[in-house]
Structure 1
Amino acid sequence: MKKILHYYSLTPEWQIPFAKQLDTSVEDDKIIVFPEKFGHGHSYFTEVTAGISVYFVDISIHQAIKLCRQKSEHELYIFHFDLSEHINLIKIDNEDYQIGSYDKLDLAIIDNQIESSYKPTLNERTFALRILVDKKLLNDFIEKYKHKIESSGKIQKKDAFYHYGNIDSNSILLLKSLKTKSIRDVSFAPYIKGVSLKLLGNFFNRFYDSENKKNILTEAENDAIDKTKNFLLSNLHSPFPSVTFLATMAGMSESKYKMAFKKCNDTTPNNFFIHEKMKLAQQILQSGEYSSITEVIYELNYSKLSYFSSKYFEIIGKKPMEDFIKKPHHKK
């Protein structure tokens, strides 16, 4: 296994020794393209605003590497958002965590004075974003967080702050949007800066809202429901995955999951899924890319036109044929 030692700073100079260990170089103080002997992909670093920088990684490796971040004199907190569709391993203050899979936790906040390491899974797309924030900008948050930990009876090591939790559903959509962007595009720099500020805003809004609002569900339970809701929205072309599957994903019993989902969304998981699926069906019917409604129902994983038509009319208020735009037939 190749071990890469590195550190972080708010300015780009830390990338130079990092790139040398990968036998490559840094382009324009921003981009590191991973050499073919390790895999393929890239990383991107830029300063966002005073006291905030962002480091974005989108790679698939075929040689095992371990990225070992060392302590440095830079007073930072690292917000690690991991949207990989598999499990990566992260070690924080000598404790192992799994991060990145849909049924695992996918957000870590780490004090730069605590060493950590990160092992991407081989032959899978690792997709993560790290926002580096000057500690001086976060004094109020850290004090409130430590107070919450002490009030809960949990042990927090002195001067060893770290947090491990879930990305909210809005932030997941922001992160997913980066998958469609090219780092070579001139608009990428302002786009990722905007995404980074929104991600921080979403996190702190949730944190301070939980300080001020009482809810039957805990913050973690709300996050778990959001995660299953996002999973449903990402899989509308597939059959409904079952309440058992979703409850397991949320870490709840089926009865608690159904209650919690309805509390958050005013409907059942299955009704939510069908409603969103019919909205997608309307877009597909009107796209002009299909030759028959049969093709459309197969696209949405239905086998019976009668069932699809009844659900479509129930939710959209029209028959599918009323919305269907047939694909033009081009003569050769």
Structure 2
Amino acid sequence: MKAKIIKHRMGIAIDWQQDFKDALGAVSFNDHYLIFPKEIGDGCSFYLEVLPGLMLLIVDFTFREQYILTKYASSEDYCIAYYDLSEELSIHHVNGEQHQVGYQAQLGMGIVDGSLESTYIAPIGQRMYSFRLLISKELLKHYLAGKLPLSKAEKAFDTRKNTIFFYTHMDSRTKIALLNLRDCSFADATFVFKAQGTALQAFGYLIEKMSEEEPELGRLSATEVHMIMASQKYLLDRLLEPFPGIDYLADMAGMSASKYKKIFKKILKNSPNNFFIQEKLLLAKKLLESGKYESINAVSYVVGYSKPGHFSANYKKQFDKLPNSDFVKCFSET
């Protein structure tokens, strides 16, 4: 069956809900819920103004048919923090580039400028649980501007001069808070208060994360976003291989090496080489914990380390512990 495409607005104000009412026959309930017809699927969405300039949107839904939800690019000064806790892999597109989010993904959250068009594709027949914070740039500026030089603070939150956009791993504190909320029923009499508290926690952790390092400033074109994210996917698809080199990646992206490194760090908060090593070691950690390998050396060879000592040293640097702390040995049946 052909996927159904729904194009909609989104912003801090809740008038965008009308697009879903018109396109899907959804109805509002109790000032916080949007209920969809049963023929589309099971579940609903929850929305709440947490504080001025901060809106929470939770989508807890199981689709019976394939829907492609495309958010229009907006002139409103806001960004969206996406956190996905779906049970299966979900697909999120920004300016035509595909990103996988959910439990099986490498990167668990993203911050996308409202000025960019984005598309969400949820799995059919599997629970989709998406937690989103719609944040005005004025609110971000209020909490972050003091951590930047005045000249950079003005530019960082000016849509004409800077695009807020990055993908990263969801920190453990945020994931625990969201998983606890996911286990709560919408029908719980205290759900609104729990949702508000969780949103404030997630927002606080996000502010901490964004304040850890000085941002790379500058406008991003749709082509630049597309090419950097394509090269990021290229790296994630080749974690068992050696790092291909900056010149190769820059050439693939059609950029100079210096421009490529600058934009890559702006979007992924890391240098290309460090990003690749970090993801390789995260993969190694999963393999060590899987119980499918007979030795640590076997795992180190699988992820491309010819010298187990080098693997152990990098692992210790990344996780502050040696591989044997996470290793679950495979015992062959006899």
TM superposition score normalised by structure 2: 0.63
Q: For 1:160-175, list aligned pairs within 5 A.
A: 160-175=163-178
Q: 1:11 maps to what in 2? A: 13
> Which has the larger displacement, 199-208 or 54-63?
199-208
CA contact (8 A) 2:80 2:135 kept: yes
Q: 1:202 maps to what in 2? A: 205
| Deviation, structure 1 residue 116 | 0.9
| Deviation, structure 1 residue 130 | 0.8
Report the Cα distance in structure 2 between the residues aligned to 1:248 and 1:6, rounded to whole angstroms.
48
Q: For 1:3-42, list aligned pairs within 5 A.
A: 3-42=5-44
Q: 1:330 maps to what in 2? A: none
CA contact (8 A) 1:2 1:66 kept: yes
| Deviation, structure 1 residue 211 | 5.0
| Deviation, structure 1 residue 56 | 0.6
| Deviation, structure 1 residue 104 | 2.4
Ranges in structure 1 where 5+ consecutive residues have no aligned partner: 148-155, 275-300, 303-332
Report the Cα distance in structure 1 between the residues aligned to 2:7 and 2:314, rounded to whole angstroms.
44
Structure 1 SS opposite 2:79: strand
Q: 1:209 to 1:17 in 2, by over 3 A?
A: closer
CA contact (8 A) 2:89 2:105 kept: no
Structure ID, larger Rg: 1
Q: 1:247 to 1:157 in 2, by over 3 A?
A: farther
Q: For 1:23-62, list aligned pairs within 5 A.
A: 23-62=25-64
| Deviation, structure 1 residue 129 | 0.9
CA contact (8 A) 2:27 2:36 kept: no
| Deviation, structure 1 residue 79 | 0.5
Q: For 1:260-271, list aligned pairs within 5 A.
A: 260-263=314-317, 265-271=319-325
CA contact (8 A) 1:33 1:42 kept: yes
Q: 1:158 to 1:266 in 2, by over 3 A?
A: closer
Matched to 1:179, the amino acid is R
Q: For 1:55-74, list aligned pairs within 5 A.
A: 55-74=57-76
Q: 2:251 maps to what in 1? A: none
| Deviation, structure 1 residue 241 | 7.4
Matched to 1:180, the amino acid is D
Q: 2:189 maps to what in 1? A: 186
Report the Cα distance in structure 2 between the residues aligned to 1:107 and 1:33, rounded to whole angstroms.
26
Matched to 2:186, the amino acid is I
Q: Deviations over 1:290-323 (max 9, x none)?
A: xxxxxxxxxxx99xxxxxxxxxxxxxxxxxxxxx
Structure 2 SS opposite 1:164: strand
| Deviation, structure 1 residue 190 | 1.6
> Which has the larger displacement, 181-190 or 220-229?
220-229
Q: 1:266 to 1:162 in 2, by over 3 A?
A: closer
Q: 1:93 maps to what in 2? A: 95
Q: 1:176 maps to what in 2? A: 179
Q: 1:269 to 1:3 in 2, by over 3 A?
A: same
CA contact (8 A) 2:107 2:169 kept: yes
Q: Deviations over 1:257-301 (max 9, x none)?
A: 644443355433553578xxxxxxxxxxxxxxxxxxxxxxxxxx9
Report the Cα distance in structure 2 between the residues aligned to 1:252 and 1:141, rounded to whole angstroms.
40
| Deviation, structure 1 residue 3 | 1.6
Identity fraction in percent = 25
TM superposition score normalised by structure 1: 0.64
RMSD: 4.3
| Deviation, structure 1 residue 161 | 3.3
Q: 1:130 aligns with which of 111, 123, 132?
A: 132
CA contact (8 A) 1:8 1:74 kept: no
Matched to 2:104, the amino acid is Y
Q: 1:312 maps to what in 2? A: none
Q: For 1:94-133, list aligned pairs within 5 A.
A: 94-133=96-135
Q: 1:105 to 1:257 in 2, by over 3 A?
A: farther
Q: 2:266 maps to what in 1? A: none
CA contact (8 A) 2:12 2:134 kept: yes
Report the Cα distance in structure 1 between the residues aligned to 2:20 and 2:45, rounded to whole angstroms.
11
CA contact (8 A) 2:74 2:116 kept: no
Report the Cα distance in structure 1 between the residues aligned to 2:89 and 2:312, rounded to whole angstroms.
27
Structure 2 SS opposite 1:26: strand
CA contact (8 A) 1:3 1:68 kept: yes
Matched to 2:204, the amino acid is G
